[in-house]
Structure 1
């Protein structure tokens, strides 16, 4: 990856398109937003694959991410809590809980930051949820 300085922030071009990163969100995604997005999307993607391998169809998944930052230490990210809201067929509390444990162990982004950022997860299963998000 190569990043080029802009007037405010940086830009890079990736396979999907151009990414703008800046401390001021008027000029791009803030670095902490990308960090949290990486943790959430990686966790959700791995969880989805695990559930599919168990032949559990996930119709939709929403991940709420709550971030704790420490203003006294350069506003560093200290904790990320992920709350998964799942809809689908055959999902049970036990199956999702076990799958979430396996996902945590197999998500490369979580594994990369787990020594310095506390990651916690909870979930709920929405019955009768028919939303299909991209």
Structure 2
């Protein structure tokens, strides 16, 4: 993933309520939390899960456990994955959050916003390089 640091890991357990997860997400201004059990990734809970599995099904967030609404099949990448690979995975799988592992161990999570920011940064570097090349050209 180049020089892009992965985000901190904010997590809940499968026994937390949806309400508790939402409180954490609001406090940290994030769109998803990882679900960990004994420091192992067992799921992810996102705003999309909340909308589709809680609100639309008429459940109460204070009475619903994360285990009942989390996404258990979590797609992850290793730290050596390229930004383009991550973007392709997110696009193909219609996901906005991608947990990151180093040697099979969870080290963070990246969001679609992180991907967009990284691409913008790369493009700015390309533009600066081209501008430097053009301004240093004997034809200018």
TM-score normalised by length of structure 1: 0.23
- Which one has a bigger Cα radius of gyration? 2
TM-score normalised by length of structure 2: 0.23
Q: Which is helix-richer, 1 or 2?
A: 2
